[in-house]
Amino acid sequence: MKELDLALLSIKPKKASGPDGIINDMLRHIGPAAKKTLLAIFNQSWHLGHESSRWKEAVIRPILKKSKDKKKTESYRPISLLSCLSKLLERIVNSRPVWFLESQELLSSTQTGYTAAPKTT
């Protein structure tokens, strides 16, 4: 539960939802019973070694590039909107090896990027 609470504190509000329609603001305000259920789903996913195939689906949205003609297709770039639940689980899973590497001092002091997992200590 501690890992879930830390991950919930670290997710960014006001982010778009994926195909399931669940947004980070909703996740940040779930009650204790919903947290317990969500944790059970995440733990089952962890023990089975895979996540829901629905969490791997994305909604592709075109975003107009700055100062481009909105009538031309090349003026847009696609973005993929993924499930916030999937990203939350990913944040929790990522925190484990990062915590281990940091606690064992296996990361170089010059390593500054790609270690943005929430602290679990």
pLDDT at residue 101 in the model: 86
CA-nearest of 49, 52, 17, 56 to 38 is: 52
pLDDT digits (tens), the chain, 121 positions: 999 999 999 999 988 899 999 999 999 999 999 999 999 999 999 999 888 888 889 999 999 999 999 999 999 999 999 999 999 999 999 888 888 888 888 877 776 666 554 444 4
Q: Which tokens is 54 given?
A: 């629905």
pLDDT at residue 66 in the model: 95
What CA–CA distance (Å, rounded) separates 90 from 117? 10
Q: What value does the CA radius of gyration of the chain take, rounded to a whole number of Å?
A: 17
DSSP for 74-87 reads: GGEEEEEEE-HHHH
pLDDT at residue 117 in the model: 47
pTM of the model: 0.77
Q: How many CA atoms lie within 13 A of 7 on its CB side?
A: 23
